[in-house]
């Protein structure tokens, strides 16, 4: 997923969607946008001596939480696991490691083996495909 696709997905189509899955690229590209936005607003706030950071936080807190929960779902964890980041010192480290791990295959038997994969082809050859 490209940067523009990730931003469009998080800000337009899945703004407050806490169910489903988000690939690593979607989560990290949106995190890059979030970090750059914070840096820009901090710089502008310092230049004009007015606090502007609340503007960004209000606008992007819901999609950031939503993409984080969907990312945890993609790794096979509950969305509540993001509360682990509240533990001092080690919590944020555990949280970031959890966000960086690879995706887990869906638990549904219908989508567990992608079409065209080697195991699906082997099932067809043996005649054991469901």
| pTM of the shown model | 0.70
**pLDDT of 93:** 92
**pLDDT of 108:** 59
Least trusted range by pLDDT, from 22-31, 74-83, 120-129: 120-129
> Tens of pLDDT along 29-64?
888 988 898 888 888 888 888 777 777 778 888 998
> Tens of pLDDT along 65-108?
999 999 988 888 888 888 988 999 899 999 888 888 888 777 65
Calculate the alpha carbon distances from 36 to 8, 10, 102 in Å.
16, 16, 25
**pLDDT of 115:** 47
Please compute Rg for the chain using Cα positions.
19
Once rounded to an integer, what is the mean pLDDT over residues 14-22? 86
Taking every pair of C-alpha atoms in the chain, what is the biggest distance, in angstroms? 71
**pLDDT of 90:** 92
């Amino acid at each position: 997923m490209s940067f523009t696709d990730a931003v469009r997905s998080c800000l337009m189509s899945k703004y407050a969607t806490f169910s489903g899955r988000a690939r690593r690229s979607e989560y990290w590209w949106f995190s890059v946008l979030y970090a750059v936005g914070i840096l820009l607003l901090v710089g502008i706030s310092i230049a004009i001596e007015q606090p502007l950071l609340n503007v960004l936080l209000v606008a992007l807190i819901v999609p950031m939480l939503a993409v984080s929960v969907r990312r945890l779902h993609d790794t096979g964890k509950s969305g509540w696991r993001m509360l682990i980041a509240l533990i001092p010192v080690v919590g944020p480290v555990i949280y970031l490691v959890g966000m960086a791990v690879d995706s887990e295959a869906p638990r549904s038997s219908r989508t567990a083996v992608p079409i065209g994969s080697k195991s699906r082809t082997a099932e067809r050859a043996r005649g054991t495909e469901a």
